[in-house]
Amino acid sequence: MGKTTRRGSLALAAAVAVVLSSSTIASAAIVDSPDAPKKASVERLSGDNRILTAIAASNEYYETDDVIAPTPEAVTAATDKVQAAYDASNNLAGAPLTAAVKVITDEADGTTTNKTAAEFLEAYGVTEVQYLALSAADKDALAQRVYDEATDLAANDPLIVAAVAGVPNRDGTTANNVIIARSDDFADALTATPLADELDAPVLINATDKLDPAVQAELNRLGQNRTGAINVTIVGGKSAISASVEKSIKGLKAVGNVERIDGQDRFETAVNIAGEISNTSGGIFLTTGMDFADALAAGTAAAKDNGVVLLTDGDKLDKHVVDGVFGPDSKSSYTGKYLDAAGYSKVVAVGGPAAAAVDTKIGPKQAAVGDDRYETAVKVAQKYFASGDPINTVTTDFVAVASGADFADAVVAAAYIANKDGVLLLTVPGSLSDATDGFLTAANKLDKSQYFDVKLFGGTTAVSASVEAELKDAVDAE
């Protein structure tokens, strides 16, 4: 850092950010050496039940490091300490020596007092008379020394690092948001994957009537892993996540704002979730709302494409009763109304039922349909995470694999991998599905400089040890 920077009007955050960017302390262990050998990996993320599997995924992505998140009071005290040194440096570089600067007088509780820059000099063994007698060059050298010590403090004080950069974790992210969904039904969580990606949020699942202690602990952990409260978005109405659970969440000190996104049914909830996504310039991914698999596979593609996921009632659009001119027997469609406004040219039908629901309004290239849910997920992967048929390019290293037989792990897996701009694939519980095996094996042969990071969601009851072994074979993982 040069003297020109020192003499400017310094904002602490900007100054410390520069220090952190060049500090070996801040950058150590964040980026692997480019010479380090890369290897494909398959890692299982699981807990003793579906709620704990979701928490395991949250822990893996938003990992707590040894750095402890400071209290706001500690951050204020630490930043005041550094700002005092910067202020004194600027004063010594030309401002009046009578100018007041804030100085820490009690390290224990952060008590501060105002002192003049001249008084501040006493810590350096220089009286005001001696300072005034110094040559311009010596004054500048002393000011530079004060400044350099301030920047050293900024780079090494863990409170300052936390205040400016946030408490670091494995992926260099800190959770600001969390999505809560029902643990025993998939309806409301089906279309939340693009929202999780936009919010960079994990999805936690909870029973309807009571806040699970493990979920409460995870909310507290995530809140303590940053310098401010986290925001919580509940997807689904009060029959999905009750008012008492919402009240319990609001009562946690780690939690700030709590928002609920719901609707009269799963179809309106999907439309309302889409309304919360700021960038919807991509496709409208249409899937059946009567099963989970197609919607979750579509969700990762929607996240990558800046799109949304909407639902059909099987092979037809949803219908609901409205109060029309001729009474309450008129029919309307939440999904249909959205599609009419946005235009069918943006629709991508994922899965046979959704394609049938809009078959007269879309072209053949607007569908991703396989013989079963496993092949449909691969069709989505080929369309949005690869190119060529057979594939010749894969555009992501990150893959999540979950059971296609149960929704709970797949809901969590979709949000997790969307935050990594990766793809969700599905498998049968007892052995790796042929479609998933074929896609990964073919992709692995394309470019040996590409190494897949595969996360397998759920315990061995959900996806067997054989699936894990077959995944390792497919991507050449140890």
pLDDT of residue 249: 95
pLDDT tens digits for range 127-145:
666 666 767 777 667 666 6
Q: Which two tokens stand for residue 296?
A: 């979750």
CB atoms within 10 A of CB 164: 21
pLDDT above 90: percentage of residues in the chain: 54
CB atoms within 10 A of CB 168: 18
Lowest mean pLDDT among 171-175, 199-203, 303-307, 462-466: 171-175
Give 58-107 as a 3 state SS string: HHHHCCCCCCCCCCHHHHHHHHHHHHHHHHHHHHHCCCCCCCEEEEEEEC
- pLDDT range class, residue 398, cuts 50, 70, 90: very high
- pLDDT range class, residue 9, cuts 50, 70, 90: very low
pLDDT tens digits for range 354-366:
999 999 999 988 9
The whole-angstrom separation of Cα 313 and Cα 36 is 50
Considering only CA atoms, which of 43, 59, 33 is closest in space to residue 170?
Answer: 59
Residue ranges of alpha helices (H) inside 211-307 are 213-224, 243-250, 266-275, 293-304
Task: Specify the amino acid at residue 65.
Answer: D
Per the CB < 8 A criterion, the answer to whether 203 and 286 are in contact is: no
pLDDT tens digits for range 172-214:
346 789 999 999 999 989 999 999 999 999 999 999 999 999 9
This prediction has a pTM of: 0.70
pLDDT tens digits for range 242-254:
999 999 999 998 8
pLDDT, the chain, mean = 78
User: Which residues, other chains included, contact 414 with Cβ-Cβ below 8 Å and sequence gap of 6+?
Assistant: 193, 196, 203, 296, 297, 299, 300, 400, 402, 424
